[in-house]
Amino acid sequence: MSTQVLDPWVFWSVKANSVFDAKVASMNGLGVLIAVKKREGCVGFSRQYTDATLFTGGGADVTYAVNGDIPA
């Protein structure tokens, strides 16, 4: 009998999608979705919209929106 090991990034990617979806539902004015990055560096995920970028860490329940002059 073999034991299958699930890559933590697969689990965290699914978790990140649900956290992003909840944040998008709670905010107005993100604009249109431009890009989704499965990995942001080696610690998290991001979704880029026309008016903001969302970031979350692997397995985290918190999403941060960054907009304005900060990303520039």
Task: Supply the pLDDT for residue 58.
Answer: 66
Written as tens digits, the pLDDT of the chain (72 aa) is: 566 666 666 777 778 888 888 888 888 878 899 988 776 666 688 889 998 888 887 667 888 888 877 655
Task: Supply the pLDDT for residue 34.
Answer: 92
Pairwise CA distance, residues 6 & 17, whole Å: 18
3-state helix, strand, coil in the chain (%, to 5): 25, 30, 45
Report the alpha-carbon angle 10-15-42, nearest 5. 60
Amino acid at 51: D
Task: Supply the pLDDT for residue 16.
Answer: 82
Task: Supply the pLDDT for residue 12.
Answer: 76
Task: Supply the pLDDT for residue 3.
Answer: 64
